[in-house]
């Protein structure tokens, strides 16, 4: 998945092509359109020219043009909040919807999670796993308590509480 990095390739610049864009290939690798590969650190060390995000979005490798209808006010607010990010965001949202195991958390649920100090998907998974562990431990403790209570029962009559 090639996502815009909003930088021009510094290697291409040195060979006389100043505006060849760099894309994110994965979390560790970036690559320009003719194949110069960088880690984030090596790219930044080469002091790439940044692309101002107000610049019109350009098609990346494999991109197509698709006419869609978008609520005008939603689009205006989105472009104001995330200038130059519309195509990349639409692509990511569509990609998310292709995953049959996707879980949608809406804004209200997300705010509730945040108030519970849960901010990422990984933290949601950890919280659910921890809850399952606690449920199991609670069940074990109930059984042990029930067994201990049984030791203090004579002829079906519970001993005085202690
Ligand atoms: Zn290059």
Cα-to-centroid distance, 19 and ligand 1 (Å): 9
The CA 37 to ligand 1 mean position distance, Å, reads: 8
Neighbours of 32 (CB within 10 A): 23
Residue 127, CB half-sphere, CA atoms under 13 Å: how many? 11
pLDDT at position 108 is 95
Distance 29 CA to ligand 1 centre (A): 13
Q: Please compute the mean of the pLDDT values over residues 103-115 and round it to a whole number.
A: 93
Coarse DSSP helix, strand, coil percentages of the chain, rounded to the nearest 5 percent: 45, 15, 40
> What's the confidence (pLDDT) of residue 136?
96
Please give the distance, rounded to the nearest whole angstrom, from the Cα atom of residue 84 to the centre of ligand 1: 22
Tell me the CA–centroid distance for residue 14 and ligand 1, in Å. 9
Report residue 154's pLDDT band, with 50, 70 and 90 as the boundaries.
low
Confidence of residue 28 (pLDDT cuts 50, 70, 90): confident
Distance from C-alpha of 113 to C-alpha of 115, rounded to nearest angstrom: 5
User: What distance in angstroms lies between residue 26's CA and the mean position of ligand 1's atoms?
Assistant: 17
Please list all protein residues whose beta carbon sits less than 5 angstroms from ligand 1, which is an ion.
Answer: 9, 11-12, 32, 36
Query: Which letter, b or e, does each residue of 114-140 get, where b requires 16 or more Cβ atoms within 10 Å of its Cβ?
Result: eeeebeeeeeeeeeeeeeeeeeeeeee
Centre of ligand 1 from the C-alpha of residue 62, in Å: 18
For residue 45, name the pLDDT band (cuts at 50, 70, 90).
Answer: very high
Helical H segments across the chain, by residue range:
10-14, 40-45, 72-81, 86-98, 107-115, 121-151
């Amino acid at each position: 998945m090639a996502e815009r990095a909003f930088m021009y390739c510094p290697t291409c610049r040195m060979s006389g092509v100043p505006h060849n864009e760099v894309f994110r290939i994965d979390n560790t690798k970036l690559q320009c359109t003719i194949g110069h590969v960088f880690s984030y650190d090596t790219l930044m060390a080469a002091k790439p020219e940044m692309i101002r995000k107000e610049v019109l979005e350009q098609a990346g490798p494999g991109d197509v043009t698709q006419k869609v209808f978008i609520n005008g006010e939603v689009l205006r607010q989105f472009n104001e909040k995330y200038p130059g990010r519309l195509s990349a965001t639409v692509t990511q949202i569509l990609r998310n919807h292709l995953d049959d195991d996707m879980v949608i958390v809406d804004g209200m649920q997300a705010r509730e999670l945040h108030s519970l100090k849960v901010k990422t998907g990984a933290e949601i998974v950890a919280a659910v796993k921890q809850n399952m562990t606690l449920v199991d431990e609670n069940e074990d403790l109930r059984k042990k308590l029930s067994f201990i209570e049984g030791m203090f029962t004579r002829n079906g009559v519970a001993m005085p509480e202690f």
